[in-house]
Chains A and B, each alone.
Chain A
Amino acid sequence: MDPTFKRFRGTFSYLTSDALEAAVNCALALEKPLLVKGEPGTGKTLLAEALASALEAPLLTWHVKSTTRAQDGLYVYDTVARLYDSRFGDGDVKDIRRYIKYGPLGESFRAPQRVVLLIDEVDKADLEFPNDLLHELDRMRFRVSETGDEVVAQQRPVVVITSNNEKDLPDAFLRRCVFHFIDFPEQELMRRIVGVHHPDVDRALVDQCLSIFFELRAMSRIRKRPSTSELVDWIAVLQRAGVTSVKLDREMPFLGALLKKEQDLVAFADQLAGGKKYRS
C-alpha cells in the first residue's frame, strides 16, 4: 500500500457510514472517480467539501447545467473576443493562448498540488456529456487543439461526481467510477447529524422534531418527502423563533420548511384529519 495514503473517515461536521468510507477509500486508493448518488438533500455535495477539508486540498467545483458541454470543463477558446480584437485592434491577436480560458477540469490538472474536483449534478447535462469526459478522466490529460499544448495533470485530482439520477449515465462511464449510493439516514444517525449542526438545541425539541420528520416521511401520500437539509433548516428556524416544543398538528410552526408543495400540504392536512378519528 502507498505509505502516504491516508484513510478518509469523515470530518467533525460530516458524519459518514462504513460503506461510504469504504467507497471513498477505494476511490482514493485506486485513483478512480467517485460517483455519489442518493436522494436530494442527503449530503452528496457536502461530501466533496468534507473530503477536501480532510485531505487539506483545495476544492474546485464544476456545476453542471443542462447546457454544459464536456469541452467547457477543459477549456474555452474565446473566438468572439479574438474576432473582436482583430477587428478593433486591441492586444496581440496572434497569441492564441491569450484567448484560451481553462475550465474547472483544466484548472484541476494545471494545479501544482492535488485538488478535489467536484463535478456536481453530472446528470443535468446532455446524455453524451459523461462519455465525452471518459478519456480526460482516465488519462488525466488533454490537448488544446488550437495551440497544440498538452495539459497533463501534475497531481491526479480526486474527482467526486454527484448525480441526482435525472438521466441514466452511460455504462462505459459507470464502469470507470467507484459507486456509492447514500442511504437515507436512520433515526439514530439523523440525531447525530442534527447534533452536529445544532449542538445547543434542546434535546426534547430535537426528539419531537425527529419523530415528526420521520412520521411525515412515512406518509405515503406525500410526493416530495422532506430530506436531511430540510430538517436541519426547520430546526434552525424553530430555534431562531424561540419555539420550545412542537407536535404534529395542522398549526405546526414553519411547516413550509419541510413540505414544499401545495398538494403535499393538502395531503398532510387530510391525513391529520383522518388520523384524529382513531386518536379521540
Chain B
Amino acid sequence: MFIPFVYELRRRKVPVGTQETLSLARALAQGLHDSSLEGFYNVARALLIHDEKHLDDFDLAFGEYFRGVAFDAKKVTDEMLEWLRDVKKMRELTDDEKALIEALDPEELQRQFEERLKTQKERHDGGNRWIGTGGTSPFGRGGFNPAGINVGGGGGKSAVKSADARKYKGYRSDLIFDLRQIEVALRKLRAFVREGAQTELDVEGTIDATAKNAGELEVVIRPPRRPDTRVILAMDVGGSMDPYADAVSQLFSAAKKATHWKELRTFYFHNCVYGRLYRTEHFGDPVTVPELLRQCGPNYKLVFVGDALMAPYELLSSGSLGPGEPPTAGIHWLNAMREHFHHTVWLNPEHPRDWKGNTIEVVRGVFPMFHLTLEGLTEAVATLTRRR
C-alpha cells in the first residue's frame, strides 16, 4: 500500500493525516489514477498536498520513494504491465532486484524501454486512452514507465523524473523568499479599531435602540473599522549586510506596499544603534533615540533587520549624543528601545547556526531574533501580534 509513502511525507514535515490518506484510498479505489504511476503522482499530489510550499517536499519524497522501483530486465514487458495494473505492487522489490537494475547496461535498458513504449502505443491505439495523450512524440507519454528515471533521455516524462525536476523548489518556505510571499507574511500583522467619523449603520444598535424607543425607528451609526498597526522598521545597511541587500530590499518594498498599516516609519543604521537612527539610506536626517521614543508610543511594533555582527567594542563601548553628553554603549540604546516598545523583533539574515559566540548572541539576549526567511518572518509576525 501507499501508506509508507505517506509516512515518508510526514517525515519531511508535510502535514498529511488520516483524512488525506483516506481520500487517496477512495480515489485509488475509484481508479482515478488510471493504474499508472504518473496518474498516481497527480492524484496523490492533488489530495495529499494543500500548499505549494510543500510541492517540493512531495517531489523529493516521491523521487526517493519510487526511485528504487525498477524492474527485472529479463521480464520487462510482463512485469511492467503488472505494475501498471497495480501501482501498489511496485515496492515489493527485493534488494537483489534493485542490485540487478543497478548493474544493468543503460543502453540495453534504453532499447527495451523504447520497445516497451511501442508495445504500449499499440495497446493504447486499441482504444485505451491514457490521460491527456496529446499526440506528441512516441515517448511523450513515458510517464507510465515507473523506471523512466533510470533510462533518461528519449523525451520520456516519467512521474519520478518530473518529480526529480523539482520545479516547485522556489515555493519552499525555508528559503529566502520573493516579494509577494513577504507581503503575505506581513499581512498578518494587523489590527483594527473603530475610530473617526461615524459613517456606518450599526444594525444591531439600531434594532436595540428602536426596540427601546417603543418601535419608533432610531438609527444608530458608528465609525468604520480602520487599521491600527503602526510599525517601525530599522535596517542595517552597508558592510557585512551587502550580501543580503536583495532580501532586505524586498522586505523593505513589501513593507512599503502594505496598506493595512496605519503608519510605517523606516530608519537606517550601521551595525548598531548609537543614540540615533537615520531616515535616509546614506545616514542623513537623523533622529535621536530619545526623540523617537517620545514620538512613538509603546504600541508601535519595532522590527530590526540586521546581521547583528560587529566588533564587540561597537556594541559595548561608546557612542555619544554630542559634545558634552556622556558616551553610551550601543547595547544601552538597544535595551532602551526594547524596554519602551511592547513588541520588538530582530530579523537576521545570517544562518542560525552562526548565532553563537559573537555579538549576535548579545543582541539576541535583548531582542527575540528570527532568521530572515519566510518561516522566520512568519514566526516574527506571530511574536509581534501576540497579546501581552
Residue ranges of A at the interface with B (Cβ–Cβ < 8 Å)? 1-2, 9, 16-19, 21-23, 25-27, 29-30, 32, 35, 37, 79-80, 83-84, 86-87, 127, 165-168, 171, 174-181, 183, 223
Of the candidate stretches B17-25, B73-81, B314-322, B331-339, the one touching chain A is B17-25
Q: Chain B 52-77 against A: per-residue CB contact (8 Å), 1 yes, 0 no? A: 10010000000000000000000000
Of the candidate stretches B40-48, B95-103, B289-297, the one touching chain A is B40-48
Contact B17 A22 (CB under 8 A): no
A165 and B45 in contact, given A18-B38, A26-B27, A174-B51 (Cβ under 8 angstroms):
no
A26: which of B32, B201, B203 is its contact (CB, 8 Å)?
A: B32
Chain B residues, CB < 8 A from A9 = 132
Chain B interface main SS type: helix
- In the bound complex, how far is the Cα of B32 from the Cα of A176, in angstroms? 18
In chain B, residues 253-280, which have Cβ atoms closer than 8 Å to a Cβ of chain A? none
- In the bound complex, how far is the Cα of B201 from the Cα of A80, in angstroms? 10
- In the bound complex, how far is the Cα of B364 from the Cα of A51, in angstroms? 53
A83 and B207 in contact, given A26-B43, A26-B46 (Cβ under 8 angstroms):
yes
- In the bound complex, how far is the Cα of B17 from the Cα of A179, in angstroms? 15
A22 and B43 in contact, given A174-B51, A179-B51, A183-B167 (Cβ under 8 angstroms):
yes
Contact B38 A35 (CB under 8 A): no
Chain A residues, CB < 8 A from B180 = 165
- Asked if B210 is an interface residue, CB under 8 A from chain A, the answer is yes
Chain A residues, CB < 8 A from B188 = 127, 167-168
- In the bound complex, how far is the Cα of B55 from the Cα of A183, in angstroms? 11
Chain A residues, CB < 8 A from B183 = 166
Contact A175 B46 (CB under 8 A): no
- In the bound complex, how far is the Cα of B143 from the Cα of A84, in angstroms? 65
Chain B residues, CB < 8 A from A178 = 23, 46-47
Q: Shortest beta-carbon distance, B141 to chain A, in Å?
A: 9
Chain B residues, CB < 8 A from A17 = 132
Residue of A nearest to B203 (CB): A79
Residue of A nearest to B206 (CB): A83
A166 and B184 in contact, given A19-B46, A23-B46, A83-B210 (Cβ under 8 angstroms):
yes
New A-B contacts (16) at CB < 8 Å, excluding given A35-B50, A167-B187, A179-B47: A18-B39, A22-B39, A22-B45, A26-B46, A30-B47, A79-B207, A80-B201, A166-B183, A167-B184, A171-B50, A174-B51, A176-B19, A178-B47, A179-B49, A179-B51, A223-B179
Chain A residues, CB < 8 A from B49 = 179
Residue of B nearest to A17 (CB): B132
- In the bound complex, how far is the Cα of B183 from the Cα of A223, in angstroms? 13
Contact B19 A175 (CB under 8 A): yes
Q: Chain B 4-45 against A: per-residue CB contact (8 Å), 1 yes, 0 no? A: 000000000001010110010011001111000011001101
- In the bound complex, how far is the Cα of B131 from the Cα of A177, in angstroms? 22
- Asked if B217 is an interface residue, CB under 8 A from chain A, the answer is yes
Nearest 10 pairs of A and B residues by beta carbon: A22-B42, A174-B50, A23-B46, A18-B132, A181-B52, A87-B217, A19-B42, A179-B50, A1-B30, A18-B131
Q: Shortest beta-carbon distance, B193 to chain A, in Å?
A: 16
Contact A180 B217 (CB under 8 A): no
- Asked if B239 is an interface residue, CB under 8 A from chain A, the answer is no
Chain B residues, CB < 8 A from A27 = 46
Residue of A nearest to B55 (CB): A181
Q: Shortest beta-carbon distance, A134 to chain B, in Å?
A: 13
Residue of A nearest to B162 (CB): A19
Chain B residues, CB < 8 A from A177 = 50
Q: Shortest beta-carbon distance, B379 to chain A, in Å?
A: 13
